[in-house]
Amino acid sequence: MSDCLFCKIASGEIKGNIVFEDEHLVAFRDINPQAPMHVLIVPRRHIASLNELDSSDDALVGEMVRRAAAIAKQEGHAEIGYRTVFNCNAGAGQTVFHIHLHVLGGRRFGWPPG
């Protein structure tokens, strides 16, 4: 999508602090981190929200979740614990309408979330 921030980061048009990329996914550090580790994992393909997913995206979403675990492990948070979040639509706080999995670690997280 031409006017999407995360499409532009995924394509390299806008610079991100990238921690991982492959054919399907790009992971980069959140510009306004909410924890010592705060990484966003996005698909290269534009998908506006979780509501747009269908069964053909199952493998892609699986890759996103497994990549979150791999990044958390790589950054030393796997054993103590980390938080993964998909916000869907404005009521849940989604501000960028290209799906992204937040991966946060390095502090304690409360439950329920705010």
- What are the b/e assignments for 57-91, b being 16+ CB within 10 Å? beebbebbeebbeebbeebebeeeebbbebbeeee
Site for ligand AMP in 62-91 (CB under 6 A): 87
Backbone angles phi, psi at 85, to 5 degrees: -145, 130
Site for Zn ion in 2-31 (CB under 5 A): 4, 6-7
Q: How far is the CB of 35 from ligand AMP (least distance, A)?
A: 11
Q: Of Zn ion, ligand AMP, none, which one sits near residue 7, judging by CB under 5 to 8 A according to partner kind?
A: Zn ion
Binding site for Zn ion (CB under 5 A): 1, 4, 6-7, 46, 98
